[in-house]
Structure 1
Amino acid sequence: MDIKVQAMGDYQTNCYIVTINEKDIIIDPGVNALSWIKNNVKNPIAVLNTHGHFDHIWSNQIVKETYNIKLYTPRDDEFMLTLDPYGLGMPPSYADVLVNPDEEIELEGIKIKFHHFPGHTPGCSALQIDKHLFTGDFIFKGTIGRFDFPNSDATLMKRSLNKILKWSEDFHIYPGHGDKTTLKNEIESLKQWEKYI
């Protein structure tokens, strides 16, 4: 597995390209992501969203149309794909597949689990590919995603933290912003947040 990352736009939102068996999966194509994607893919097969915030989904539609591939979005965040809440001119996008909470999908032999961790958004998910977890804005290095936005929910965030704290396996974590980390390294931080909320 090869993982490429590039921070996009004013919010430095991480766009990932995961390449397995010469197949490229694009995760969270943010603002003006297409040119970087064009320079780094050979055989893209899908676009995946961790959640529906504009800085993660901005280039959804142009990427999926450029490569004629499907867009997979958590079902509970579908409503965000056509919203432009801050009037920034975000292009609307339209999911081809709405993924249910905790559903596992398979793309050309590649298994991807959408672990549902609501709180930051209703559909916020961490995408598991093998021992790699693309956490969007759920877990960052040293902290967690905000839960004071419209459509955020502190009670659900606390429940999500409690859920992941029960995991016994370690994972490489690739967050929506900032540097990668591991679940083991974040356990104490997550415990503190779970108590705080």
Structure 2
Amino acid sequence: MSEPNDDRFYFRQLLSGRDFAVGDQLASQMVNFVYALGDRRTGDCVLVDPAYDPAGLVDAVEADGMSVTGVLATHYHADHIGGSMMGYDIAGIAGLLERVSCPIHVQRDEIPWVLRSSGVTEDQLVGHDSADVVSVGDLEIQLVHTPGHTPGSQCFLVGGKLVSGDTLFLDGCGRTDLPGSDPQLMVESLTRLAKVDDDIVLYPGHRYSIASSATMGSVKQSNYIFDQVLGT
């Protein structure tokens, strides 16, 4: 897969409660990251996990001259794609589709979970397998199935960056005690991610560390999960 031209590669990391959903107490507490990935020349971009304030996220990328032409969902949890959580109703992909018409790209095993929780219908989803590529303009985004946190958790590899959702954080990994979680599958997924090149930069689904991103090489050295769970 070819690397995107840096001049064309549009990339934004947006933090809930700071860059969007400002004033939303839950969004501020959950410190979710939403990512915008696109091709500046064509103006097309996709949003990764647009929750809390989908209209505000569309406004943010449109202010950059970009148009939302798709959504990539890392997994079904409400703080990533909308739905009910802890007594709160969180806006997400269903609300985004009221603003723009675009496909929602999910891992195939996640489809029934997304349908139960998000308020969208199956015809609005595109199911994928691991190693599938989603094209945005001339930008190619590789999908990496990383089950464990949920059955269809997936990461996105593009332009020297790994957007990891709740599979891998700078410190630790996603929980495996929730509906659909599987500790053994998480170990297998983390083993797969341990093989990602050291110079790839990890961008997680939450800001659980002071830093917002780090190279995989430094994460492999500092994240206890690679030592305690994988023994690397």
Asked if TM exceeds 0.5, the reply is yes
Q: Indicate whether 1:74 and 2:107 are aligned.
A: yes
Quick one: which of 169, 186, 192 aligns to 2:227?
A: 192
Q: What is the CA distance between 1:75 and its match in structure 2? A: 1.0
Aligned counterpart, 2:167: 138
- Larger mean Cα displacement after TM superposition, 41-50 or 102-111: 102-111
Q: By how many angstroms is 1:47 displaced?
A: 0.8
Residue 45 (structure 2) aligned to one of 24, 32, 43: 24
**1:48 matched residue in structure 2:** 72
Q: Which residue is 2:196 aligned to?
A: 167
Q: Contact (CA 8 Å) 1:75, 1:101: kept in 2 or not?
A: no
SS in 1 for 2:220: helix
Query: Which deviates the most, 129-138 or 62-71?
Result: 62-71
**Structure-1 residue corresponding to 2:176:** 147
Alignment root-mean-square deviation, CA: 1.9
Q: CA deviation at 1:120?
A: 0.5
Deviations 1:20-56 (A, max 9, x none): 2232211101122322332332321111111111110
Please state how far the C-alpha of 1:169 moved relative to its aligned partner. 4.6
Q: Deviating runs (4+, > 4 A) in structure 1?
A: none
TM-score for the superposition, normalised by structure 1: 0.87
On the 8 A contact 2:38/2:139 being kept in 1, the answer is no
Does the 8 Å CA contact 2:68/2:100 hold for their aligned counterparts? yes
Q: 1:193 to 1:170 in 2, by over 3 A?
A: farther
Structure richer in strand, relative to its length? 1
**TM-score using structure 2 length:** 0.75
Cα 1:96–1:172, aligned 2, differ >3 Å: closer, same or farther?
Answer: same
Deviations along 1:56-114, one digit per CA (max 9) or x if unpaired, are: 01111221341111111111111222334xxxxxx512343111123223233221111
Residue in structure 1 matching 2:187, options 116, 134, 158: 158
Change (3 A) 1:65 1:193: farther
- Unpaired segments of 5 or more residues in structure 2? 1-8, 18-26, 83-91
Conserved 8 A contact 1:101-1:123 = no
